[in-house]
């Protein structure tokens, strides 16, 4: 059976070069970077060169990169660590309504610790209005965190404009760039942010390798206390092979970004235009223009996402959905709901995430396989029969 992986939003497959770069560190280069001997030196040199590669990807300096165990950890570290380090100035933070759970729930935890959290809404395209951020900034606001792009609907946020506002108010700005770093150009200076999260498994690097870029001089409290690794800001024996892999993946992403983007945009645009013209009652979610290159997201009306995923999987196609049934919490995606998409429609969420290995044939295959699946499920759907009888 044909196999088509179109879930590069959830994670990506390591490129051969990345895997090759990592392998010696599972073998003879297995040392602990903190140690005073040759094995330690080799490991240390490896992670320092990876630090340079990651710094280069986002226009920062090596000393500003703190390696973590995941994008989620980077976000927790940023939100909690920055809030705790600056709480003397105030206890108010601002995030958007469509942040990833790792930001949302970190903010919720801060709420339990006596912080006050304001949510910034988004429009129907998932876009934050910078003026909405400005309106929420108070004397005691210490931190704003707005994601660079939302991976579920692909919308890219106007971080450059938001950073002008946070700079004026001298408030720290963090951005979750996990969906963008390594995929589209990300430059911390241009963005004007103070902290930025990224994760290597989003750009053909390994899992277990996140990073937080933190502008020189910005104080932060560690999330993970212990030894002096990562300059005392993130303790624990470094995951050397994963860090090496993230460095290599960053280098490759930096070098081939333009061609990668072009490739993805072609595939994405075909799907964005052809699915709605092949299947009735489809809503495109996310912004038409300010959009991640590999992201094609839809809601298919009258049917539910998980059932579609399962039938697509039976045809060898892997994608994801923001439906309530695919979430363990059994709630429709907070992102779609924040974009004012009705619950019933949000249930039909489908998210195609193209990657560098995908081809135009993959799009053909989706366009061949998806319509009969939609048809089969609609034939089973009481909502569809009601619609056919009475209209919406």
Partner 1 sequence: MAIYSERVMEHFMNPRNVGEIENPDGIGEVGNPICGDMMTFYIKVKDNRLDDVKFKTFGCGAAIAVSSMASEMAKGKTLDEVMKITPELVADELDGLPKQKLHCSNLGAQALHKAIENYRENHKKGKDNDRE
Ligand X SMILES: Cc1ncc(COP(=O)(O)O)c(C=O)c1O
Range 279-308, binding partner 1 (CB under 8 A): 302-307
Nearer to ligand X, 130 or 353 (CB): 353
The listed partner (partner 1, its own copies, ligand X, none) that binds 347, CB under 5 to 8 Å by sort, is: partner 1
The listed partner (partner 1, ligand X, its own copies, none) that binds 176, CB under 5 to 8 Å by sort, is: ligand X
Does residue 190 bind partner 1 (CB under 8 A)?
Answer: no
Nearer to its own copies, 72 or 96 (CB): 72
Instruction: Give me the residues paired with residue 213 across strands.
Output: 65, 196
Does residue 246 bind ligand X (CB under 6 A)?
Answer: no
Residue from 163, 285, 320, 347 binding partner 1 (CB under 8 A): 347
Phi-psi region of 327 (alpha: psi -120 to 50; beta: other; left: phi over 0): beta
The least distance separating ligand X from the CB of residue 46, rounded to whole angstroms, comes to: 17
Calpha distance 368→357 (Å, rounded): 20
Give the contacts of 31 (CB within 8 A, at least 6 positions apart).
Answer: 37, 38, 39, 40, 41, 42, 43, 240
Given 62, 235, 325, 337, which residue is catalytic? Answer: 325
Q: Is residue 325 annotated as a catalytic residue, yes or no?
A: yes
Nearer to ligand X, 203 or 384 (CB): 203
Nearest to 172 by CA among 99, 81, 238: 81
Residue from 27, 330, 391, 392 binding partner 1 (CB under 8 A): 330
Does residue 141 bind ligand X (CB under 6 A)?
Answer: no
Nearer to its own copies, 3 or 343 (CB): 3
DSSP state of 184: B
For the chain, what is the largest distance between any 2 Cα atoms, rounded to a whole number of angstroms? Answer: 77
Residue from 259, 266, 359, 385 binding partner 1 (CB under 8 A): 385
Q: Label residue 339 exposed, middle or buried (CB < 10 Å: 0-12, 13-18, 19+).
A: buried
- In our burial notation (b when 16+ CB lie closer than 10 A, e otherwise), range 122-145 reads beebbbbebebbbebbeeebbbbb
Does residue 100 bind ligand X (CB under 6 A)?
Answer: yes
Residue from 104, 127, 178, 332 binding ligand X (CB under 6 A): 178
Q: Are 391 and 281 in contact (CB under 8 A)?
A: no
Nearer to partner 1, 261 or 325 (CB): 325
Does residue 102 bind ligand X (CB under 6 A)?
Answer: yes
Size of the chain in residues: 392
Tokens of residue 218, six digits: 């910005």
Nearest to 43 by CA among 34, 55, 54: 34
Does residue 206 bind ligand X (CB under 6 A)?
Answer: no
- In our burial notation (b when 16+ CB lie closer than 10 A, e otherwise), range 264-276 reads bbebbebbbeebe
Nearer to partner 1, 2 or 386 (CB): 386
Instruction: Give me the active site residues, please.
Output: 325
Question: Under the rule (CB under 8 A), what is the footprint of partner 1?
Answer: 36-37, 40-41, 44-45, 302-307, 310-311, 313-314, 323-326, 328, 330, 332, 343-344, 347, 379-385
Question: Under the rule (CB under 6 A), what is the footprint of ligand X?
Answer: 70-72, 75, 100, 102, 147, 151, 176, 178-179, 199, 201, 236-237
């Amino acid at each position: 059976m044909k196999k088509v992986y179109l879930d590069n939003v959830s994670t990506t497959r390591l490129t051969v070069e990345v895997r090759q770069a990592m392998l010696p560190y599972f073998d003879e280069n297995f040392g602990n970077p903190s140690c005073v001997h040759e094995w330690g030196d080799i490991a240390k040199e490896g992670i320092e060169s990876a630090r340079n590669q990651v710094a280069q990807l986002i226009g920062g300096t090596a000393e500003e990169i703190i390696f973590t165990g995941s994008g989620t950890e980077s976000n927790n570290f940023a939100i909690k660590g920055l809030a705790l380090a600056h709480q003397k100035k105030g206890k108010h933070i601002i995030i958007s309504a469509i942040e990833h759970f790792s930001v949302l729930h970190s903010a919720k935890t801060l709420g339990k610790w006596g912080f006050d959290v304001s949510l910034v809404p988004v429009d129907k395209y998932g876009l934050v209005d910078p003026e909405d951020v400005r309106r929420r900034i108070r004397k005691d606001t210490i931190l704003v965190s707005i994601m660079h792009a939302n991976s579920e609907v692909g919308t890219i946020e106007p971080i450059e404009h938001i950073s002008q506002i946070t700079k004026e108010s001298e408030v720290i700005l963090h951005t979750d760039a996990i969906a963008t770093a390594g995929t589209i150009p990300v430059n911390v200076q241009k963005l004007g942010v103070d902290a930025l999260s990224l994760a290597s498994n989003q750009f053909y690097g390994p899992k277990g390798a996140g990073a937080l870029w933190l502008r020189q001089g910005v104080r932060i409290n560690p999330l993970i206390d212990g030894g002096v690794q990562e300059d005392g800001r993130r303790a624990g024996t470094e995951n050397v092979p994963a860090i090496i892999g993230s460095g290599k993946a960053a280098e490759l992403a930096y070098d081939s970004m333009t061609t990668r983007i072009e490739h993805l945009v072609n595939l994405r645009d075909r799907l964005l235009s052809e699915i709605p013209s092949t299947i009735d009652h489809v809503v495109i979610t996310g912004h038409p223009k300010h959009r991640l290159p590999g992201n094609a997201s839809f809601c298919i009306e009258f049917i539910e996402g998980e059932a579609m995923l399962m039938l697509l999987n039976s045809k060898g196609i892997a994608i994801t959905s923001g439906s309530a049934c695919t979430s363990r919490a059994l709630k429709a995606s907070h992102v779609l709901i924040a974009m004012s998409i009705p619950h019933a429609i949000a249930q039909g969420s489908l998210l195609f995430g193209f990657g560098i290995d995908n081809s135009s044939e993959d799009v053909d295959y989706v366009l061949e396989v998806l319509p009969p699946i939609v048809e089969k499920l609609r034939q089973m759907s009481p909502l569809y029969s009601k619609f056919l009888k009475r209209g919406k």
